[in-house]
Structure 1
């Protein structure tokens, strides 16, 4: 909501992204030195952090772009395609066996996307094609980034994952700042500062959730985002999603829940096997 709001006040997307990340650095460093946790920033995997930062920066472009171009609720629903892409990546990249239930969920979810986007119909005029593409690409990129984060958190602390993402992405975005930065009022600067603070806290919580919580549980909790973005879109921007969004959204959410259910069953089976004593 804050990204969409400051953009409406004339702040360009590259500048929003830069300050979103740059504000994180003093906050994280202040916390580290105040609590004496400097050891948490030690890392032997700087290259992996850099790769995650590149993907994360691209992901911010599509995520924030979708939020700016689309009603907030629509951008959120398209972002719920992450579990669908995660299933596809699991099958194609990790060579994991994907059963009928999860493939059926993928088909159901993308059917929901077609209902929302309505390609080739008059309803599609409600959704800018670039915004819809950014929303779908966000789903794919978040799936990839989630795999990167889960890999990093095997050896890295949530604090180091967030810190190095802020550091490397700020370095990536800094060269763009002279071309996009403009003068702002004190109110807009204040909102930009709040955006950075809230974004840092959210990134810490998400990273910790992916490390300590089951992926299925994290996914289910993420669906509450739709309630908040619908509310913000209505109260702040006087903007509600097109009616066909409410037809497609349940299909995407249902697909995600089916995938979460099957992942939960798979995890329980693996745990049962691991706990079975040898004969």
Structure 2
């Protein structure tokens, strides 16, 4: 571990579990918004609502808004912005269990990048966990070779980009203010939303009604019914993403990423309770496999940390 990096696994795990519980609830709100506004207006509006809240966090002492080093923070912000565009776009097009299964292939990508890119040993147990998790993701997504839908790849691409942003957070941004990372991420998402909104408003394309038109919808002037849900998303996202970033700053990515699997329970459970979204038996098995992979990864990470501590 590099000098100066704090490693607090219990705190990191607690922060991540709390963040995932909040995200599992508020991401279902996107399903309610998709009929009213578009992806780009959603990100721009949410960013404008979140920034005053983030500035408030800075004013009450949670950290500075100015990064110590701009380029790593900008790189991280771009990666996570692209990841969120793919993920939120997929939420309007498929059940949340499927969107989450694709996005939370990120822990698998984290381990693969850690092993292949950073040359860290991951061992047979964690390799086995990756295989189990991958099988679980296939069970939830249920891709069909005879009826392939390219939209299935959207959350998986989001997962790859999210994994890269997670590693960037730990390797290059661990000494940055959590508030600075959150603010720059939200600003980047807002800028992306403004660009997309301007393009799709100036050059409209044929857009289906309802959730199917979420990704390509331009400016909607009458969106008052969406405002309460945008506020829920903005406040919840500010709290949850602050906790998530902090978790990656105080814990190893391969360990912290394990606890992101918990959103596979929180998200579909709330979707079932509040929206009536059901999951098939195969998808339930897949969620179980993903959770099992997370437990195995967490156990091996804890064992490795204990052995290194003894050594």
Shorter chain as normaliser: what TM range? 0.7 to 0.9
Q: Does 1:23 align with 2:61?
A: no
1:28-79 deviation per Cα after TM superposition (whole angstroms, max 9, x unaligned): 123323x266x72232311111111111111111221232222112322333
Contact 2:98 2:141 in 1 (8 A): no
CA distance, structure 1, for counterparts of residue 275 and residue 103 of structure 2: 20
The offset of 1:170, in angstroms, is 2.0
Counterpart for residue 171 of structure 1 = 191
The offset of 1:187, in angstroms, is 2.8
1:6-49 deviation per Cα after TM superposition (whole angstroms, max 9, x unaligned): 012x211111122222322111123323x266x72232311111
* Number of positions where the alignment pairs a residue of Structure 1 with one of Structure 2: 266
Q: Does 1:117 align with 2:141?
A: yes
CA RMSD of superposed structures (Å): 2.4
Counterpart for residue 244 of structure 1 = 282
Unpaired stretches in structure 1, ≥5 consecutive residues? 274-279
CA distance, structure 2, for counterparts of residue 101 and residue 220 of structure 1: 14
SS in structure 2 opposite 1:69? coil
The offset of 1:172, in angstroms, is 3.2
Give the 4+ runs in structure 1 shifted more than 4 A: 213-221
Contact 1:13 1:64 in 2 (8 A): yes
SS in structure 1 opposite 2:122? coil
Contact 1:84 1:256 in 2 (8 A): no
- TM-score, normalised to structure 1, is 0.84
The structure with the greater share of residues assigned to helix is 1
Contact 2:167 2:253 in 1 (8 A): no
Which among 144, 156, 160 is matched to residue 176 of structure 2?
A: 156
Counterpart for residue 22 of structure 2 = none
Counterpart for residue 205 of structure 2 = none
Counterpart for residue 29 of structure 2 = 2
Q: Does 1:256 align with 2:294?
A: yes
Task: Decide whether aligned partners of structure 1 residues 175 and 129 sit closer, same or farther in structure 2, where only a CA change above 3 A counts.
Answer: same
The offset of 1:213, in angstroms, is 4.6
CA distance, structure 2, for counterparts of residue 108 and residue 31 of structure 1: 40
1:137-184 deviation per Cα after TM superposition (whole angstroms, max 9, x unaligned): 232222111111123442211111111212233233322223222123
> Within 5 Å, which residues of 2 pair with 1:66-145?
66-120=90-144, 129-145=149-165
Task: Decide whether aligned partners of structure 1 residues 150 and 214 sit closer, same or farther in structure 2, where only a CA change above 3 A counts.
Answer: closer
CA distance, structure 1, for counterparts of residue 264 and residue 121 of structure 2: 31
CA distance, structure 1, for counterparts of residue 48 and residue 180 of structure 2: 15
